[in-house]
Chains A and B, each alone.
Chain A
Amino acid sequence: MNYLIKELFRHKWRTVAGISGYIIATLFILLVMSVTRTNERDSIGILKGTGTHFIVYLPSSTSCCVSCDNESSSGSLIAEGVFTMMLNSDLIFSIKEIEGVRDAAPYLLYRIFDKNLQSEVSLGGIDTTSIATKNNVCAATNVISGKYLSSDTDEIVAEESFAKAHGLRVGDTLNVYASKLKLAGIVNSGIKPGKADLYAPIDNVRTILKERMKCMSPGFDMNIVLVEVTDARIQNSVIRQLKERMNYLSVSSYNCYQPASEVMTIMEDTSTMLTALIFIFLIIFSAKTQLTSLMERFREVGILKSLGWSNARLGRQILLISLIQSLIGASVGVISGIILIFLLNNYNFRLFNTMEFHFQSGAIPILLLLSLAGGLLAGIFPIIKIYRTKAGDMINNYM
């Protein structure tokens, strides 16, 4: 060990050159990881939430599951234009137990033909607090005029297309569903699988259907379950599990999670490949540095061999020198990287002022391990050379 330290200090420039390679490579890997982390947070974060929702219902051939004792209605429970059966609230808990399900919410979607409006009117009862409702039906962020749903039992919001078709404005009162419902707001929820014409809190819709429409059905919990998953990439797995457990249910998704999932995979593969490329260059550079360093003192190694130093002893020394250099280089590289990231984030550098770098503390052990692996690989080539060359050839052929 004593000679190892001497070797590092007596050949200062050679040591500095060896360490510099690891510093540069570590710095680059750290920056690439930082940029890809930012990219992941911003881009993949968005893509992760793209299309991570679907609806579950039980289709039926007739609307016999309910009967409404109301002269103005001939309604039915529907989902995506087909009749559905009523579902029990317990189903929500079963679905929430599936791995990868972020949230599940009840939805009660009823459609009648309204004689006054001379058209079909669908009314969706929603859980306004659920993320599953937000992505499958509508949310406060979709309001384009007026306000979103409150606890007022008579308030509803209408889809923009429905409001335009019937000339409705915020504050109007609609005489539908055997009720006088006040239009609190207008929403444009876009293309959603659970879209309706009018929306109200689910408890209010239950009251409307049971008490005002006199619809006869046990429970009146819901006819659709809205589901939100944690990541677009596991949506397929969640749907598969759900179908395995409850194969009688119908699952409907717009499948926009699939391209998002593919893009995310491509982005992650690219960042992994970039890191791998830098790592390969690190090894090549380090191996070259170690080999050059050895060639410079090949004659000295030959002298040591002629004095009885074994290949194993010399190899061990070279490997340790390489590992020490890689460890020092990686440590300095990490510290330099942290400082650089801090400077880039806190000072207005023109080239980078649109980017934000995120330092990952979890990357430190990975970088140290990568560098040690690089040092190990870089040390192997010189050792092979020592084993293959006789001491006399080293002394005579290398100056």
Chain B
Amino acid sequence: MAGKQIECISLTKQYNSKNNTVTAVDDINLGIGNNELVLLKGRSGAGKSTLLNLMCGLIKPTRGKVMLDNDCISEMSDDSLSILLTEKTGIIFQSFNLLPTYTVYENIEIALVPKGADRNLIKDNIYTMLGQFNLKEKAGLMPSELSAGQQQKVAIIRTLIKQPVIIFADEPTGSVDDETATEIMEHLLYLKNEKQVTLVIATHGNIPERIADQVFVIENGRLKV
């Protein structure tokens, strides 16, 4: 798998409870090239989200490793991982994960805090992005005052504002209506085609396979051949 931007090597994740061990991801090997759009498909509970979390370094594997541009992120220190998450990767969650006590504007702004960018520049960028998603007037609202689709758009803006080169998205259209889903996918495809962003998207099947460069089907934590 030489030349791959992302490589999963014998990747395994197990969760231990009192009486049993659950294997969420079981010995997965895969490679993703630069500027590819990859779909991780599977039913709920198949292990897609766990695999995605492992790939972006949010959780540690039980065995195996994840290489990102030849850096082993599963063995990375938290500090190095913070830099990676700030500079290179972005994550879109299925459940939006917006901070409930912060406004729309602040929720986006916090993603830029680690970068320490100029405040005026930040403000301009945020309002430009909000404009692109038709949310400019919602900047001062709290997440609870937005619809699910609007919340997902805010979560996406929060990721895109950092200008990542790799985006990991967990069911980005799973909780939104069809119209919003189309709008979100258009944005993601724009990023792939115009900004050469690599996209790794976990989905249970509502995203057409034809747009993907690779599709990995996951069943019971294993890659289905």
Using a CB–CB distance below 8 Å, which chain A residues touch chain B? 3, 6, 10-11, 299-300, 303-313, 387, 390-393, 395-396
Contacts and interface: CB of A to CB of B under 8 A. Distances in A.
Interface stretch (B32-40, B91-99, B126-134): B91-99
Interface string B155-169: 000100010000000
Interface stretch (B3-11, B81-89, B180-188, B204-212): B81-89
Size category of the B interface is 20 to 34
Contact of A10 (B93, B102, B158): B102
Given A308-B82, A308-B85, A311-B78, A3 B113 contact: yes
Contacts of A309: 82, 110, 113-114
Contact of B85 (A300, A306, A311, A396): A306
Contacts of B56: 306
A11 B101 contact: yes
Contacts of B114: 307-310, 313
A3 B79 contact: no
B59 interface: yes
Given A6-B106, A309-B114, A393-B59, A303 B78 contact: no
B106 A308 contact: no
A308 B110 CA distance: 10
16 contacts: A3-B110, A6-B102, A10-B102, A305-B85, A306-B85, A306-B91, A307-B110, A307-B111, A307-B162, A308-B87, A308-B115, A309-B113, A310-B78, A313-B114, A392-B58, A395-B58
Interface of B: 53, 56, 58-60, 78-79, 82-87, 91, 93, 97, 99, 101-102, 106, 110-111, 113-115, 158, 162
Contact of A391 (B58, B83, B99, B101): B58
Given A3-B113, A313-B114, A390-B60, A305 B82 contact: yes
B86 A392 contact: no
A307 B82 CA distance: 8
A311 B76 CA distance: 14
Contact of B82 (A303, A310, A396): A310
A6 B79 CA distance: 25
| Residue of B86, B87, B91, B158 most packed against chain A (CB within 10 A) | B91
A308 B113 CA distance: 9
A211 to B, nearest CB: 96
Contacts of A300: 99
Contacts of A303: 97, 99
Contacts of A306: 56, 58, 85, 91, 97
A395 B56 CA distance: 14
B82 A311 contact: yes
Given A307-B114, A308-B114, A392 B53 contact: yes
Nearest to A393: B59
B162 A310 contact: no
A27 B82 CA distance: 42
Given A303-B99, A391-B58, A308 B162 contact: yes
A310 B79 contact: yes
B156 to A, nearest CB: 13
A308 B117 CA distance: 14
A137 B36 CA distance: 104
Contacts of A310: 78-79, 82, 114
